Amino acid sequence: MDSRPIGVFDSGIGGLTVVKEIMNLLPDENIVYFGDTARVPYGTKSKEIVTRYSFQCIKFLLENKVKAIVVACNTASASSLDIAKQSFDIPFIGVVEPGAVAACNMTKVNKIGIIGTEGTVSSGAYEKAINIINNNVKMVLKACPLFVPIVEEGWQESEIASLTAQQYLHSLKGSGIDALVLACTHYPLLQNTIGKFMGDSIRLVNPAFETAKALKQMLTESNLHNCSNDNCADGSVKYKYFVSDNPVKFKKIGENFLQKPINHVEKIDIERY
Ligand code: DGL
């Protein structure tokens, strides 16, 4: 049993979709979340910059004595997870591999669609992860950058969201895929809109949910759970939120992502790390 928190970071607010799934699946775990709101988006930045930023996020979380780190950002997982694993002595979970595994299990026709930021799409990380699992799978990738601001505005069910989905996804719809990975932290909030447009024959993969499942498995295998079913630590789970800018905005939008109140958000100077 290990009561230290799980560290989670993202380029900003989007990683809260992963936090939400962790809270549901692992309700006894304490969480420290860092959102790099001063430097978001990561999705348009180079691998070198995203890796430097990710390392600073990791150092901040380590200072908070976390027992494992979830890289809850597709862009950061795609560009920096491998090197982070080699550089820091702590268990890591990224969002790419769990999403890739779920998509491979889901497809019956060996053809998968992947949508994400420009950084994630151009990194080749999903192709690499999927090919390791099944090298017969064909993939169709598409960057959908406008989805991020639409979700942050809270417009996920709007006509603007539907029209944007139509514009981005019409080529994917006719491409013969039967599974579509929502490979950006924000996209699970567009699940209804995307699902409505793609239709029932294309199943959506939510890497946020798959990541929480992978984390649960990792904690069990390494005996790192805070609580083992009937033997819970002290029942008072703590969630702490830190950002590099704009805590008030984070709290407001974050409550929409989490569907629960956020009590306090602290601003820190990430350049110190
Ligand atoms: N969190 C990012 C991701 O999952 C989306 C926002 C950004 O570009 O930073 O790729």
Q: How far apart are CA 255 and CA 252, in angstroms?
A: 6
Banded model confidence at residue 230, pLDDT cuts 50, 70, 90:
low
The closest residue, in CA terms, to atom 2 on ligand 1 is 73
Our answer on whether the CB atom of 11 is closer than 6 Å to any ligand 1 atom is yes
Q: What domains sit in the chain, N to C, each tagged with a CATH number?
A: 6-94+209-272 (3.40.50.1860), 97-207 (3.40.50.1860)
Q: What does the pLDDT look like over 233-270, one tens digit per residue?
A: 556 789 999 999 999 999 999 998 899 999 999 999 99
Q: Which residues contact 28 (CB under 8 A, 6 or more apart)?
A: 225, 226, 227, 232, 233, 237
**DSSP-derived pairing of the beta strands 179-183 and 111-116:** parallel
pTM: 0.94
Tell me which residue of 83, 90, 50, 85 sits closest to 66, measured CA to CA: 90
User: Catalytic residue at 144?
Assistant: no
- 73, 104, 144, 227: which one is catalytic? 73
Tell me the residue type at 218.
M
User: Catalytic residue at 227?
Assistant: no
Banded model confidence at residue 141, pLDDT cuts 50, 70, 90:
very high
Q: What does the pLDDT look like over 155-183, one tens digit per residue?
A: 999 999 999 999 999 999 999 999 999 99
